[in-house]
């Protein structure tokens, strides 16, 4: 049975002034998978995420997500679509004047009929799902470590029970132990909640720990997309350096040990 395509990008072009970031980019994302998006500096990984999530309007091309054409969609259509996705930005991007619980409640305020007590209860549930304590929910972002802020950002992204979760460099800046714990959390949440995950990363350990497929951005497009084991056969300088270097060999070895 063919996997359901929940994101379909065709002939995407992103351009800022004269600087072309993407040109003729195509990509499919399938329901229930964790897709890792990698590429060198300046290849527009975060730009692609924002284009798909409806946070940035491309210059050309089509983005179809969960049956809705994102470019040209009405405000009402985009609002309905936004209830079906969650986005975690780098370092959480939390409101500094709100507690963690209040941050998580922000998306819930868009849901009609929820009482303050219900919103608070749902926020506490999402905070617990992210691996934070109840006490952390009453702290402000400045009182949290970097890893805790990321988990708080994840809790907010999960607030509306999304079908698709967008993660932008979720393990950047974390120590190896913290990054590995966050990888485990992503994999467990994807499996238990049936999430489709679009994960921008540069972290090889994360790719090998959690991703079903990987899409490589190069030359202003998706150069190749497929299972990790296929990447070692791609004849491209950046791909070979990235997936055949010593750090990649170490990450592959760790994955094999986990599977044994």
The pLDDT-based confidence of 253 (bands split at 50, 70, 90) is low
Residue 87: count of CB within 10 angstroms of its CB: 21
| CA dihedral sign, ordered 121, 122, 124, 125 | positive
The CATH number given to whatever domain includes residue 57 is 3.40.50.300
Segment 92-109 mean pLDDT: 93
pLDDT in tens, 185-211: 999 999 999 999 999 998 999 999 999
pLDDT in tens, 105-117: 999 998 989 999 9
Domain span holding position 136: 5-259
Angle formed at CA 180 by CA 138 and CA 96, multiple of 5 degrees: 30
pLDDT in tens, 28-50: 999 999 999 999 999 999 999 99
Query: Rounded distance, CA 127 to CA 230, Å?
Result: 37
Entry pTM: 0.93
Could you tell me which residue, 170 or 248, shows the higher pLDDT? 170
Angle formed at CA 228 by CA 3 and CA 146, multiple of 5 degrees: 100
Give the pLDDT confidence score for residue 114 in this predicted structure. 92
| Position 99 pLDDT exceeds 60 | yes
> SS3 for the chain, per residue?
CCCCEEEEEEEEEEEECCEEEEEEEEEEEECCCEEEEEECCCCCHHHHHHHHCCCCCCCEEEEEECCEECCCCCHHHHHHHHCCEEEECHHHCCCCCCCHHHHHHHHHCCCCCCCHHHHHHHHHHHHHHCCCCCHHHHCCHHHCCHHHHHHHHHHHHCCCCCCEEEEECCCCCCCHHHHHHHHHHHHHHHHHHCCEEEEECCCHHHHHHHCCEEEEEECCEEEEEECHHHHCCCCCHHHHHHHHCHHHHHHHHHHHHHHC
- What does the mean pLDDT of the chain come to? 92
Look at the chain and report how many structural domains it folds into: 1
| Position 92 pLDDT exceeds 70 | no
- Backbone φ and ψ for 197, nearest 5 degrees, come out as -120, 125
């Amino acid at each position: 049975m063919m996997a359901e395509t929940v994101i379909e990008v065709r002939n995407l072009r992103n351009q800022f002034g004269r600087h072309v970031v993407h040109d003729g980019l195509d990509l499919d994302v399938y329901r229930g998978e964790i897709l890792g998006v990698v590429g060198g500096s300046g290849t527009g990984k975060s730009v692609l995420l924002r284009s798909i999530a409806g946070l940035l309007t491309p210059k050309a091309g089509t983005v179809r997500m969960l049956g809705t054409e994102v470019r040209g969609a009405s405000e009402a259509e985009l609002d309905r679509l936004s209830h079906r996705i969650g986005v975690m930005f780098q370092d959480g991007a939390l409101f500094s004047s709100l507690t963690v619980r209040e941050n998580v409640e922000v998306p819930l305020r868009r849901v009609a009929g929820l009482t303050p007590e219900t919103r608070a209860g749902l926020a506490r549930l999402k905070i617990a799902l992210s691996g934070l304590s109840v006490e952390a929910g009453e702290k402000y972002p400045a009182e949290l470590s970097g890893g805790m802020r990321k988990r708080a950002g994840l809790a907010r992204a999960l607030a509306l029970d999304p079908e698709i979760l967008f993660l932008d460099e979720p393990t950047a800046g974390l120590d190896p132990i913290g990054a590995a714990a966050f990888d485990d959390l992503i994999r467990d949440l994807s499996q238990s909640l049936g999430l489709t995950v679009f994960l921008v990363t540069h972290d090889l350990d994360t790719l090998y720990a959690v991703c079903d497929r990987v899409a490589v951005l190069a030359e202003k497009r998706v150069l190749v997309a497929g299972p990790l084991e296929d990447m070692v056969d791609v004849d491209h300088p950046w791909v070979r350096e990235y997936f055949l270097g010593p750090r990649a060999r170490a990450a592959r070895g760790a994955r094999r040990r986990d599977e044994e």
